[in-house]
Amino acid sequence: MKMYIANCTPQVQDFHYRLPENAKLLKQTIPLGQQIQIPGDLTQFDIDAIIEQHSRYGMVRVGEIDRTKAFIGVCYDIDRKVDMDRVRNAIEHNYEVLEERGKIIRQEAAVAVNNSIEEQTGGGLNALEARIEEVGKDATMDETIRVTRHEDPTPKGTTGRRPSRTRRAA
C-alpha cells in the first residue's frame, strides 16, 4: 500500500514518523502546499501506526477536510495522491481558523491586562482600550479592543470583564 501526506500549512513541514518494525525516527520534508509519498510498500499496520502518531496533531484523511473545524496541519490518502484542490481549501480554512484564534487570544489578553490593572490599583477602572497595530510595509492589522464593565456578559472562559471589539480598516 502507498500513503501520501500533503502539507496544508503555509510553511515547510518536516514530517517525522516511526514504522512499527523500525525504531529509527524517519523524516521527510514536505514543501508548503505539496505532498510526498511515504517510501516503500506499507502494510495496513504501518499506515495505522503513522495515523495514530499524527492524528492527535491534526492530521486528517483528505476526505475529512470539509468536515474538520480545527486547524489541519497535514492530510493523507491511501493508494492515491491527495487531491490538491482539497489541500488549497484546507490552507484557506487554516487562515480562517488562525484569524479567529488570534482574535480570541487578543481579547483574552486585554481582559487579563484589565484585571491586572484593577488588582494593582484597587479597582475603579471603568474601561480599558487596547490598540493592536501591525507596523510595516504590508501592515494589515489595526484593531482596538475595549474592555468595560457595562457591556455584554463575560464570554465563556474569561473572568471579570468582556472585551468589545472595534475593527478599523488598515
Q: How many domains does the chain have?
A: 2
Q: What is the pLDDT of residues 33-84, one digit of tens each?
A: 899 999 999 999 999 999 999 999 889 999 999 888 999 999 999 999 999 9
Are 69 and 129 part of one and the same domain? no
Please indicate, yes or no, if residue 124 is contained in any of the structural domains. yes
Residues 122 and 75 in one domain: no
Q: What pLDDT is stored for residue 150 in this prediction?
A: 65
Q: In the listed set 49, 82, 115, which residue is the last one of a domain according to the structure?
A: 82
∠ CA(88), CA(12), CA(37), 5° rounding? 75
Please indicate, yes or no, if residue 138 is contained in any of the structural domains. Answer: yes
Residues 6+ positions from 118 with CB-CB distance below 8 Å: 124, 125, 160
Give the structural domain span for 118.
99-167
Decide: pTM greater than 0.75: no
CA atoms within 13 A on the CB side of 99: 9
Mark whether 70 and 112 lie in a shared domain.
no
pLDDT digits (tens, 9 = 90+) for 15-26: 999 999 888 999
Q: Are residues 105 and 59 in the same domain?
A: no
In a domain, 38, yes or no: yes
* Residue 88 resides in a domain: no
DSSP state of 64: G
Residue given cell 481579547 in the structure block: 107
Of the candidates 13, 21, 101, the one whose C-alpha atom is nearest the C-alpha of residue 59 is 13
- How many residues does this entry show for the chain? 170
